[in-house]
A = this chain, B = another copy of it.
Amino acid sequence: MPDTTEMPNSPAPLLPPPWHSDDRSRPRIRDVRVILTAPEGTRLVVVKVETDEPELYGLGCATFTQRPLAVATAIEEYLRPQVIGRSVHDIEDLWSMLAVSSYWRSGPVLNNAMSGLDMALWDAVAKARRVPLWKLLADRYNGGKFDDKAWVYAAGGYYYPGKDLDGLQDEMKHYLDLGYSTVKMKIGGVPLADDLKRIEAVLKVIGGKGENLCVDVNGRYDLDQALACGAAIAPYNLRWYEEPLDPLDYLLHAALATRYAPPLATGENLFSMQDARNLIRHGGLRPDRDVLQFDPALSYGLVEYLRTLAMLQRHGWSGRRCVPHGGHQFALNIAVGLGLGGNESYPDVFAPFGGFADDCPVENSLVRLPDIPGVGFEAKSALYRVMRPLAEG
């Protein structure tokens, strides 16, 4: 067993580290800090893993904007004490220990807490290896293969008081100017006839190409509404029709899929491999077209997301059907390194987490990732302005 006496002030690990080689036993986690900050009004929960190598740290985001203090308490009081003194390379083992230690599982508080820590550990491990996270993932899990660029789309098209069709069109033109060819808008918040006018207005802006438009219901429809909307929008052959129904009502999705032929998308409200598996088994989705949006930050981190990808493969689904929700840099690395279908992005909301590294413009809805160690937070100056004081603190 590795010698833990060099860190006399930290608690002894609860379990012996699983790796005994020198390479795997260093660096160790010296501390886990939670920093609450709200740049541009978004309440972020940032996790910093400090190691026993003075320059080496990892950053993660455990943000749950509606319940940030509950997430912070979960990390500080329950996760932090269990991981201090362990090697940063023990991610999978730490994950299992933390997951079972609460007995009762899942939900956005515990999942965001765990995935913020998971993200910070992956950032630290990639930095320790001096490689970008996407490269580390490609080498470890994808036979060294990675994508040169990630496909991304601009998520927006929200309802706002006073926002008319002109305002919606201006927003979408702005996304096109930023280099996106595919955009997403909300529907389901007004009567269908009004939504159809909004869809037509956006289609006009993007040259009538339905394959470049996604619509997102955020689970508001019942089956009748979803079928009616589906019948109305089917002729547009949209890129996808997202979360039309209660995300946990798998049979409703199966019923809709018997009638709506173009692509459906869902998954951001499923928080574990088991939930994802139930969608795949019972939701009637079609592996040649439908889109899975499980978010590695909402669903227990990358350790669980790897299990979800393995489950998909066993069920005959390609990872290319996955386009994670959330628009964060972590999922962008996963998309490129593991060969997903792409990633969401929020050019104008959730700042400063939306968008990309400074020298990586979006062109034709494709974006290159920076070639710096870790997740790459440090290459995105608007974000790093927020995170830097934390990193140096």
Q: Inside 8 A of A105's CB, which chain B residues have their CB?
A: 107-108, 269
| CB of A271 to closest CB in B, whole Å | 8
- Contacting residue for A104 out of B73, B102, B103, B269, CB 8 A: B269
| CB of A18 to closest CB in B, whole Å | 21
- Contacting residue for A66 out of B78, B109, B274, B278, CB 8 A: B78
| CB of A255 to closest CB in B, whole Å | 12
Beta-carbon nearest neighbor of A78 in chain B: B67
Number of copies: 2
Q: Inside 8 A of A248's CB, which chain B residues have their CB?
A: 272, 274-275, 278
Q: Are B70 and A103 in contact (CB under 8 A)?
A: no
User: With contacts A110-B109, A274-B249 known, is A70 near B66, CB below 8 A?
Assistant: no
Q: Are A108 and B108 in contact (CB under 8 A)?
A: no
Q: Are B298 and A277 in contact (CB under 8 A)?
A: no
Q: Does A101 contact B (CB under 8 A)?
A: yes
- Report the count of interface residues on A (CB-CB < 8 A): 37
User: With contacts A104-B269, A246-B274, A278-B282 known, is A70 near B251, CB below 8 A?
Assistant: no
| CB of A71 to closest CB in B, whole Å | 8
Q: Does A129 contact B (CB under 8 A)?
A: no
Q: Are B107 and A281 in contact (CB under 8 A)?
A: no
Q: Does A250 contact B (CB under 8 A)?
A: yes
Q: Does A64 contact B (CB under 8 A)?
A: yes
Beta-carbon nearest neighbor of A246 in chain B: B274
Q: Mark A94-119, 1 if CB is under 8 A from B, else 0.
A: 00000001111111111100000000
Instruction: Tell me what chain A mostly uses at the interface: helix, strand, loop, or mixed.
Output: helix
- Contacting residue for A108 out of B101, B104, B272, CB 8 A: B104
Q: Does A69 contact B (CB under 8 A)?
A: yes
Q: Inside 8 A of A250's CB, which chain B residues have their CB?
A: 278, 282
Q: Are A102 and B66 in contact (CB under 8 A)?
A: yes
Q: Inside 8 A of A109's CB, which chain B residues have their CB?
A: 70, 74, 107, 109-110
Q: Does A22 contact B (CB under 8 A)?
A: no
Interface centre among A70, A106, A298 (most CB of B within 10 A): A70
Given the complex of chains A and B, what is the CA–CA distance between A282 and B249 in angstroms? 11
Q: Inside 8 A of A110's CB, which chain B residues have their CB?
A: 67, 70, 107-109
Interface centre among A78, A108, A109, A281 (most CB of B within 10 A): A109
Q: Inside 8 A of A271's CB, which chain B residues have their CB?
A: 107
Given the complex of chains A and B, what is the CA–CA distance between A275 and B298 in angstroms? 18
Given the complex of chains A and B, what is the CA–CA distance between A181 and B42 in angstroms? 57
What are 15 contact pairs spanning A and B, CB under 8 A? A66-B101, A66-B102, A70-B71, A70-B73, A70-B74, A72-B73, A74-B109, A104-B107, A104-B298, A105-B108, A106-B106, A106-B108, A107-B108, A249-B274, A278-B278
